């Protein structure tokens, strides 16, 4: 049986006693962080304008799909029809039991067809 060795995680080193930061050092670090974040924001704003993401509505959802060949205002919303109208024997065999039961019920009801 192999021996399991647990390794303790390293703790962060705290400032040694007696080496407290002065207010000037704290202010300098704060200014450095602010400058870094300002530069980061500016560079990513440039990239953002070059690569706008997908168009979105005001509420943050994706744009609605339109019927093929129609654009802008006169369009009607386009919903895809389900393409799977037939089941094969392997589909039924590989599906979980509950799903295969539903498949068989749809075949018996005549909603779907069975091919071999």
Chain-centre distance for alpha carbon 1: 42
pLDDT at residue number 10: 75
* Residue 20: per-residue pLDDT: 80
Question: What is the structure's pLDDT at 21?
Answer: 84
Nearest-10 Cα torsion for 57, 61, 63, 66: -130
Which tens digit of pLDDT belongs to each residue from 2-50?
Answer: 677 777 777 777 666 667 889 999 999 999 999 999 998 888 776 665 5
Q: What span, in angstroms and rounded, lies between the C-alpha atoms of 28 and 35?
A: 11
C-alpha to C-alpha distance for 55 and 23, rounded to whole angstroms: 47
Average pLDDT over residues 95-104: 94
Cα angle 19-22-27, degrees, rounded to a multiple of 5:
135
pLDDT at 101: 94
Convert the pLDDT of each residue in 40-70 to its tens digit. 888 877 666 555 565 555 555 555 565 566 6
Domain edges within the chain: 86-115
What secondary structure letter does DSSP report for 48?
H
């Amino acid at each position: 049986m192999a021996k399991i060795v647990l390794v303790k995680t390293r703790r962060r080193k705290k400032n040694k006693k007696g080496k407290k930061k002065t207010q000037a050092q704290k202010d300098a670090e704060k200014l450095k962080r602010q400058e870094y974040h300002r530069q980061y924001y500016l560079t990513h704003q440039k990239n953002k304008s070059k690569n706008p993401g997908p168009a979105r509505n005001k509420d943050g959802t994706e744009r609605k799909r339109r019927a093929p060949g129609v654009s802008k205002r006169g369009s009607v919303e386009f919903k895809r029809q389900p393409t799977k109208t037939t089941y094969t024997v392997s589909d039924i065999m590989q599906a979980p039991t509950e799903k295969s039961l539903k498949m068989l019920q749809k075949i018996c009801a005549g909603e779907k067809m069975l091919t071999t």
